Structures are given as structure tokens and as C-alpha cells.
Amino acid sequence: MPLERARKMLADRIGAGEDIAAKVEIAERTGGYRDWLDLFATWRNSAIGDLKAIYEEKDTATEFEYASQTTDRSSPSSTFEYRKGAVRDGIRKLGSLIDRLPLALPESEDAAGIKSLHAEIYSRCHTLYAGGDYAEAVEKGFKVVRDRLRALTTHETGSEAFGKGKLYVDGAAAPHVDDDFQNGVKFLTMAIDKFRNEKAHTADGNITDPIRAYEYLRLSSLAMHLLDRAHIPSSGTTPQPATTP
């Protein structure tokens, strides 16, 4: 399992454990010991299942089982007194496992590819991608591009940013192909806008394949790298194409 996805799973279980720990006072005040114990058991079993999925054949899940284990007592209220401490012990164990993840799990083989995305695309999308939320990751990448266009021109679509917004991007290979370059960047941002609209009309964006999702992220990354060199020329001046090194 990718390291980031494992980290997210453990963090989610810690959050669920904290929620159960916060309900201790309700159980004590209302006498709802059995209900609280049922919540604890569900959380513990789910965490054990996640740990087995993350670590496969390793006995790491057993460490959590021992940390969160208590013996059933003569009554729910007696068992509750021991398990309200066990939930805290389990949370601490999950926290230590998060700290150990870089040692326990290697990064996925494609980590270098993901990390080479534009910094803003990576920071906003890599956790979603690593967690298998491919449609959300792609949608977030498209939104990052639109946000950049809006920040540059007040327009969030490529057609309006390069039309009404008069956006200009440095980087053409030579002056005589500058128009081609400007149109290329404009049509790239327009394509991103069209893809975003298309995928917004289905529940999962038709993206279940990690490779296809990565390709869409790379598309947004390219747009962001190009827009890093974008500006609106001063009124009355003619943009001078800057050749790439």
C-alpha cells in the first residue's frame, strides 16, 4: 500500500478513536455503558482490519490488539472502566505506527513521478491520489489551474483569461512562433475547463484508473508550469517573446 494512503487510513482511525474517547463522559452520565462498548468494539475491529491491509503478513496488527485489549468483566459498567483507558492506549499505538511508517513501508515506485508535479498540484492533490480518491484528485488539479487563471486575470476559464484578460505567457521558442505558443497555452487551459465540466456530470468522474488520473494531473501540472510565466502586459506595450533557455 502507498505510504500516503496508509498514513491517511491510520489518521482516520485515530480520529474515530478520539471521537469514541470523547463519548466516555456521555456513557458515564447516562449509564450507556453497553452502547459505548459496542462503539469501541467496532472501532477496534475496524482498526485491526486496516492494519492487516496495510502491513499484510506483518504482525503489526497484533501490537494494536494487545495495546487495546482488556478482559470482559462481570458487568458492562465494570468492563467500561477498563476499556475507556484501552481506547487511549490504542490511539497512542496508532500514533506511533504513523511515526514508523517511513521505516515500515517503502514509497511507491511512482513516487518520483508524483513528486515531480508542479508544487501546487502536488501539495493539493497527492494525498487524494495516494488514498485512491482519483476523481477528487483530478478535480482538485483542474480547480488549481482555474484558481491561478482567476488570480492572474479575474477570469477562471482559458478563453476569457486569454481573451478578455489579455493574458500573455513568456516562453515561446522564437518570435515567429509566439502566436502558436500563446494559442497552445490557451487551448490547454480551455481543454482543462472542458474536461472539468465533463467529469462534473458523473459521480466518480469516470476515473478509476490511477494511470489515467496521473495523466490528468500531469496535464494540470504542465498548465501551472506555463502559467508561472504568465502576466498581463502593460497597456500600450507589445509583448516581447522570451525564448526558453
In whole angstroms, give the CA distance from residue 161 to residue 177.
Answer: 20
CA distances from 28 to 24, 35, 175, 209 (A): 6, 11, 76, 48
* Mean pLDDT, rounded, for 113-120: 86
* CA 6 to centroid of chain Cα atoms: 12
d(CA 10, CA 53): 11
Q: In terms of pLDDT, which residue wins out, 9 or 36?
A: 36
Q: How high is the pLDDT of residue 131?
A: 83
Chain Cα centroid distance, residue 67 = 30
5 with 131: CB under 8 angstroms? yes
Q: Is 230 helix (H, G, I), strand (E, B) or coil?
A: strand
Segments making up each domain of the chain, as ranges: 3-104, 113-231
Interval 228-237 mean pLDDT:
82
| pTM for the predicted model, two decimal places | 0.55
* C-beta separation of 154 from 162 below 8 A: no
d(CA 242, CA 245): 9
Q: What is the pLDDT of residue 234?
A: 82
What's the grid cell of residue 122? 502536488
Terminus-to-terminus CA distance in the chain, angstroms?
40
Which residue from 235, 131, 146 is spatially nearest to 189, judged by alpha carbons? 146
Report the Cα 81 to chain-centroid distance in Å: 38
Q: Helix H segments across 23-163? A: 24-30, 33-55, 60-67, 76-104, 111-115, 119-130, 134-153, 158-162
Q: Tell me, what's the pLDDT at 38?
A: 96
3-state secondary structure of 127: helix
219 C-beta neighbours (distance < 10 Å), count: 19
- The Cα–Cα gap between 112 and 103 comes to 18
pLDDT tens digits, 144-164: 999 999 999 999 999 999 999
| Per-residue pLDDT reduced to its tens digit, 161-213 | 999 999 999 999 999 999 999 999 999 999 999 998 888 766 556 677 888 88
Grade residue 111 by pLDDT with cuts at 50, 70 and 90: very low
Helix (H, G, I), strand (E, B) or coil at 185: helix
> Is 142 in contact with 197 (CB distance < 8 Å)?
no
